[in-house]
Structure 1
Amino acid sequence: MSLPAPRPDLNPPEGDLAAVLRRRAHETPEKQVYGFLRDGVNEADGLSYAQLDTSARAIAAALQERFKPGSRMLMLYPPGLEFAAAFFGCLYAGMIAVPAYPPRKNQLDGRLIGIVKDCGPAAILTVAEVAAGVEAMVNQLAPGAMAVIATDAVGPDGADAWREVPLPPEAIAFLQYTSGSTAAPKGVMVSHGNIMHNERAILESMEHDSDLVGVAWLPVFHDMGLLGNLLQPVYAGGATYLIPPLAFLKRPLAWIEAISRYRGTTCGGPNFAFDLCAQAAAAADGGLDLDLSCWQVAYVGAEPVRAGTLQRFAKAFERYGFRKEAFFPCYGLAEVTLIATGGPRPRQPEIVRVDGGALTENRIQTRRLPGAGSRQLVGCGRAATDLEVLVVEPESAAVCADSQIGEIWVGGESVARGYFNDQAGSRETFGARLDTGRGPFMRTGDLGFLRGGELFITGRLKDLIVIRGRNYYPNDVELSVEEAHEGIAANGTAAFAVDDGEQEKLVVVAEVSRSFFHRLRSEADGELAGQILSAVRDQVALDHELQLHDLVMVKPGGIPRTSSGKIRRGESRELYLAGGLEILGAG
Structure 2
Amino acid sequence: MLWVRSPLPSKSATPSVDYPSMSSSDTNRFADALLDHFRERPGARAASFVTAAGRVDLGFADIERDCRRFAAAYRNAGVGQGGTVLIFLRHVPELYGSFFGAMLAGHVPSLMPCTSPRQDSGLYWRSHDKLLRRIRPDAIVASDETFAEMQEAGLDLAAIHQISIDNLAADEGGAALAPPPGEHIALLQHSSGTTGLKKGVRLSFDAIRAQVDSYAGVLSLDDEDRIVSWLPLYHDMGLIACMITPAYLGIPVTHIDPFHWLSRPGLLLDLLDKERGTFCWLPNFAFEHLTLTAGRDAASYELGRVRAFINCSEPCRASTFHRFAEAFAAAGVNKNQLQCCYAMAETVFAVSQTPLGQAPRVLTVDGQLMRTEGRVADTAPGAPEALEVIESGQVIPGLRVEIRDEGRRPLPERHVGEIAIAGEFLFDGYNADPERTAARLENGFYHSGDLGFLADGRLYVLGRTDDLMIVNGRNIYGHEVEAEIAGIDGLKPGRAVVLAHEDTRIGSQVMIVIAERVERSARSSREIQREIIDRIFSIFQITPRYVELVEEGWLIKTTSGKIGRSANLAKFLEARNQQG
After TM superposition, is the score higher than 0.5?
yes
> What pairs with 1:23-34 in structure 2 (closer than 5 Å)?
23-34=36-47
Q: How many residues align?
A: 485
Q: Distance in 1 between matches of 2:549 and 2:221?
A: 41
* TM-fit CA distance, 1:107: 3.0
What is the DSSP-based 3-state SS (H/G/I as helix, E as strand, rest coil) of the residue aligned with 1:197?
A: helix
TM-score (norm 2): 0.76
User: 5 Å matches for 1:218-257?
Assistant: 218-257=231-270
Answer whether contact 1:178 1:186 (CA < 8 A) is retained.
yes
Instruction: Describe the SS at the equivalent of 2:279.
Output: coil
Corresponding residue of 2:274: 261
Whole-angstrom CA distance in 2 between matches of 1:400 and 1:314: 35
**C-alpha deviations, 1:549-570, integer Å up to 9, x for none?**
xxxx999x99968999889999
Amino acid at match of 1:107: G
* Structure 2 counterpart of 1:123, one-letter code: A
Greater Cα shift, 357-366 or 147-156: 147-156
Counterpart contact for 1:448–1:457, Cα < 8 Å: yes
- How far apart are 1:182 and its partner, in Å? 4.2
Q: Aligned residue for 2:140? A: 124
2:159 to 126, 145, 148: 145
User: Which residue of structure 1 aligns with residue 7 of structure 2?
Assistant: none
Q: Any gaps of 5 or more consecutive residues in structure 2? A: 1-26, 470-477, 479-499, 517-525, 556-562, 564-571
The 3 A distance-change label for structure 1 pair 76 and 104 is: same
Label 1:415 to 1:183 Cα distance change in 2 as closer, same or farther (>3 A): closer
Give the secondary-structure state (helix, strand or coil) at the position aligned to 2:91: coil
Find the counterpart in structure 2 of residue 418 from structure 1: 429
Q: What's 2:510 paired with?
A: 493
Query: What are the equivalent positions in structure 2 for 1:53-72 lying under 5 Å apart?
Result: 53-65=64-76, 66-72=78-84
Q: How does 1:269-280 map to 2 (within 5 A)?
A: 269-280=282-293
> Aligned partners of 1:382 and 1:497: how far apart in 2?
39
Specify the code of the residue in structure 1 equivalent to 2:99: F
The answer to whether the Cα contact below 8 Å between 2:246 and 2:252 also exists between their aligned partners in 1 is yes
Stretch of structure 1 that moved more, 182-191 or 230-239? 182-191
Spell out the pairing of 1:35-184 with structure 2 (5 A cutoff). 35-39=48-52, 44-65=55-76, 66-104=78-116, 106-109=121-124, 111-128=127-144, 130=145, 132-134=147-149, 136-137=151-152, 140-151=154-165, 153-155=167-169, 157-159=171-173, 161-179=174-192, 182=195, 184=197
> Using a 3 Å threshold, how does the CA distance of structure 1 residues 155 and 331 change in structure 2: closer, same or farther?
same
Match of 1:374 in 2: 386
Is contact 2:298–2:329 with CA below 8 Å preserved after alignment? no
How far, CA to CA, are the matches of 1:561 and 1:266 in structure 2? 31
Whole-angstrom distance in 2 between the partners of 1:562 and 1:327: 34
Report 1:367-516 matches (<5 A).
367-395=379-407, 397-430=408-441, 432=442, 439-463=443-467, 478-479=501-502, 482=504, 491=508, 493-494=510-511
Are the equivalent residues in 2 in contact too, given 1:402–1:449 (CA < 8 A)? yes
Overall identity of the aligned pairs, in %: 25
Distance 1:279 1:31 in 2: 36
Matches of 1:303 and 1:460, distance apart in 2: 10
Determine if contact 1:29/1:50 at 8 Å carries over to the other structure. yes
Structure 1 residues not aligned, in runs of 5+? 1-13, 433-438, 466-473, 484-488, 500-520, 522-552
What is the deviation of 1:404? 1.1
Q: 1:30 to 1:497 in 2, by over 3 A?
A: same
- Per the alignment, in what secondary structure is the counterpart of residue 28 of structure 2? coil
**Coordinate RMSD, CA, aligned:** 3.6
Please say if residues 446 and 460 of structure 1, whose CA atoms lie closer than 8 Å, have aligned partners that are also in contact.
yes
Q: Does 1:296 align with 2:313?
A: no
CA deviation vs aligned residue, 1:376-422 (integer Å, no higher than 9, x gap): 11100111121111111231x22211111111011112210011111
CA, structure 1 residues 404+572, in 2 after alignment: closer, same or farther (shift >3 Å)? farther
| Cα deviation, residue 163, structure 1 | 2.8
How far did residue 277 of structure 1 move? 0.5
Q: CA deviation at 1:154?
A: 3.3
The amino acid that maps onto 1:147 is: H
CA 1:163 to 1:573, structure 2 compared with 1: closer, same or farther past 3 Å? farther
Moved more, 57-66 or 444-453: 57-66
Question: Following TM superposition, by how much is the alpha carbon of 1:235 offset from its aligned partner in structure 2, in angstroms?
Answer: 1.6
Q: 2:3 is matched with which residue? A: none
Q: Which moved more, 1:562-571 or 1:316-325?
A: 562-571
Aligned to 1:267, the other structure's residue is in SS state strand
Deviations 1:232-275 (A, max 9, x none): 11122111111111112222212111111111111121000000
How much has 1:178 moved relative to structure 2? 1.7
Distance 2:535 2:329 in 1: 33
CA distances 1:337-394 after superposition (whole Å, capped 9, x unpaired): 1111113222111111111111112111112322432111110011112111111123
Q: How many angstroms does 1:188 deviate by?
A: 1.0
